[in-house]
Amino acid sequence: MRSLLGLTPAEISELIHVKESFRAKQIYHALYTGIESFDSITNIPLVLRQQLSSEYSILTSKMDTSLDDEDGNCKLRIELSDGLFTECVILSDGDGRKTICISSQVGCKMACAFCRTADMGFKRNLTSGEILEQFLIGQKIAGKLSNIVFMGMGEPFDNIENLKKAIQILNDKNAIGLGARRMTISTCGIVPGILALAQSPLEIRLAVSLNSAIEEKRRQIMPITARYPLKELKDALIQFQEDKNKRFTFEYVLIKDFNMGDEDIKALRYFTSGLSVLVNLIPWNTVEGKPFQTPDRKDINVFCSKLDKLGINYTLRRRKGFGVSGACGQLAYKAR
């Protein structure tokens, strides 16, 4: 049976043939309160509850496995209604705040060379309801979730319509009511998506996976560079900055003997000029079978000291989720 998650009140009203619009709004609101059956919606008539129970389910997906580490991080493998799986990760900051890293696709088309998800290939887009179900399942497992990062499997802007609808419902006070500033979209550099976000009234945060500011190098590890070259990407980011008047983030995966040399730093300084940006340094998380190496502490310290001298604004990300293979670039599953 299909779910009503991801539908607006108007769409619910039309689908279940309810004339009173307030009834659809009651159902819409109840869906995001953590109910497990339609019988829990006691402010709607019994006959309507029976109709919903016979024709629809609250969720279409279910948790398959859960992996936890000693730092309070958790990776959830979620089985979808068609037998495919996706993964999401819940990260704890140690102060009680929890961030969920949500997938937007099963697999990914972008083929980034350092990412395990790329090895899966692309299976399909997630529906807006399936995106929302990750949040609801995660909250049931981990309790209150403070922030969302669309940085799981897939490229969020490659599934933009379902993403937009899910975000609207997450932000809606009559549904989940999570502030837009508590949500971040991470993209490999899909220019139309960045420009669309710039024009959106919602103040959602933006993170861009850069990984090299040298065109040829970036193309080696991120094929999307051939479609959206660095100049076009920077033009879009300047537009985003002008429209939103706020800082965004560059994600920069540190790969030993590849993107940490003097020429890489010089290119990074040039590319970040004129941008209000924080460079988030992420030591590469090991993925079996990939021809890359993770830099050691000495390599990282040397790199950071050179950034300091050039005045590049950066932060060094502490590894989170590595203990459950849920760190950046590690999400994937093997088909049964």
Q: Which residues are catalytic?
A: 87, 328
CA distance 322 to 296: 16
Burial of 67 (0-12, 13-18, 19+ CB in 10 A): middle
Q: Is 5 left (phi over 0), alpha (psi -120 to 50) or beta?
A: beta
